[in-house]
Amino acid sequence: MKTCKKCNETKSLELFSKNKASKDGKQVNCKACNKAHKASIKEETKAYGKVYYNIPANKAAKKASDKAYYEAKKLPYHIVYALPDFRNDERAYCGVTDNPHYRMARHKQQGNNTQGWFILGVFVDREEALIAEDKYHEQGYCGAKHWEKS
């Protein structure tokens, strides 16, 4: 039995998380109090973020930071990729990106399944990658057409 420092209730040791640094090997607050504390901090942080990012200067700073992060993750080449199970269609989706991490995150946000995506080709020149993508579209992959035949 141990007394919680937060709620001052005496509870069994199973209701306290582990802490190797303490003599009895348990936290000073019970699991329920820790959970309530974490929830309150989460709500405070969420509320702070809503206020903080509605200030125009902070909004602009976040946008600049996000752009810098995206630019840092860009690759020096362009990837033609495929999503095999795109919107439960029988055909796979084909696209071009220079930042696969960002592109797959965008596909997930749009509700698409990104598991099992694979690389069809790697190109230094974006135009070559777009031409290759269109050739895959002619083979049955779905996606946007970039080049019209003249």
User: Taking the model in full, what pTM does it have?
Assistant: 0.53
pLDDT tens-digit readout, 65-115: 888 888 888 889 999 999 887 666 667 888 999 998 888 888 888 888 888
Q: How far apart are CA 22 and CA 39, in angstroms?
A: 24
Instruction: Report the half-sphere exposure of 56 (CA within 13 A, side-chain side).
Output: 0
Altogether, the residues listed in the chain come to a count of: 150
The CA distance from 53 to 62, in Å, is 8
Tens of pLDDT, residue by residue over 23-60, are 999 999 999 999 999 999 999 998 888 888 888 888 88
Delimit the domains of the chain by residue range: 2-52, 75-138
**Which has the closest alpha carbon to 68: 24, 27, 99, 30?**
99
